[in-house]
Amino acid sequence: MAAEADCAHVIIIIAMKEEAAPLVEFYRLEPLGSSPFIEPSPMVAWRGTLRNGLLLHVVWCGHDERFGVNNVATTAAAVSTYAAVAAFGKPALLLSAGTAGGFGQRGARVGDVYLSTKCVFHSRRIPVSDGTLEEYGFGHFRSPPLAGLAAAAGLKQGVVSTSDSLDCTPTDMDLMMAEGAVVKEMECAAVAWVCQNLHVPFVAVKSITDIVDGQKATRAEFESNLHAASSALQHRLAAVLDLVAGRPLSVW
Ligand code: ADE
């Protein structure tokens, strides 16, 4: 088997402009002059070569043309991921980065940043005869073993669960509890599915804005913590990028 290549190129997929901005600013990333995507795709890309030599592409899923809001959730995340790999080539590592809800009963606190051990869908419910389609629905996308990286970068680790909804029905909650989820968000299993199909190593990095099983209303808690959580995300992502640059992922 060929030796695993050193990590020289990372792509980060981000749903919200507010989540991408601190990273773009911190690294002074350059917007790509002419869009690498089919016009008039909404995605926006930045590029930079970091001081450690790592080539970084950050792709924001863009604004919706009709509603003017961030293109959150799974459809835009999957399309953006495929388009990014088509435009920039296969990276050594692709990240889904952003903000998320966390489960207090499993130790999540606002401001924590998590590295995924696994990503699942909790709203692709397909309970038919032999159970294979049901398991396909959940997805069960295992992340590479990166416990050493998480410890070195100050990240917690856990299962991240994805749906297209900010809210949480009783069925969603039962399934997330059964799957061992610590983090709830709206993109990463879709990004993981694309990466699985393209054989690109994938992991999610998610910063907690709200406690799903806490006392506060999700939207209000999310909105009041978005800025601080995006800043925490940028700090932890910078630590991750510093640590992975120039080494094979298998050292972690
Ligand atoms: N993003 C931030 N908080 C979230 C939550 N509670 N559910 C889904 N996505 C989120």
pLDDT for 105: 98
Residues 6+ apart with CB under 8 A from 54: 7, 8, 9, 10, 241, 244, 245, 246
Among the atoms of ligand 1, which is closest to the Cα of residue 163? 8
User: In this structure, are residues 158 and 120 in contact, taking their beta carbons and an 8 Å threshold?
Assistant: no
Dihedral sign for Cα 120, 210, 201, 193, please: positive
Residue nearest to atom 5 of ligand 1 (CA): 101
Among the atoms of ligand 1, which is closest to the Cα of residue 168? 7
User: In this structure, are residues 183 and 108 in contact, taking their beta carbons and an 8 Å threshold?
Assistant: yes
The active-site residue out of 112, 172, 185, 210 is 210
**Binding site membership of 102 for ligand 1 (Cβ less than 6 Å):** no
**CA of 208 relative to ligand 1 center, distance in Å:** 8
pLDDT for 33: 80
pLDDT for 1: 54
pLDDT for 130: 86
pLDDT for 110: 97
pLDDT for 2: 61
Residue nearest to atom 6 of ligand 1 (CA): 101
pLDDT for 34: 81
pLDDT for 87: 97
Closest CA to 180 of 124, 116, 94: 116
Whether the complex's predicted ipTM surpasses the cut of 0.85:
yes
Rounded Cα–Cα distance for residues 148 and 151 (Å): 5
**Binding site membership of 226 for ligand 1 (Cβ less than 6 Å):** no
Among the atoms of ligand 1, which is closest to the Cα of residue 165? 8
Known catalytic residue: 112?
no
Whether the bond between 201 and the residue before it is cis, its omega within 30 degrees of 0, is no
Residue nearest to atom 7 of ligand 1 (CA): 166
**Binding site membership of 209 for ligand 1 (Cβ less than 6 Å):** yes
CB neighbours (10 Å) of residue 131? 10
Known catalytic residue: 167?
no
Query: Could you list the pLDDT tens digit for every one of the 252 residues in the chain?
Result: 566 888 999 999 999 999 999 999 999 999 998 889 999 999 999 999 999 999 999 999 999 999 999 999 999 999 999 999 999 999 999 999 999 999 999 999 999 999 999 999 999 999 888 889 999 999 999 999 999 999 999 999 999 999 999 999 999 999 999 999 999 999 999 999 999 999 999 999 999 999 999 999 999 999 999 999 999 999 999 999 999 999 999 999
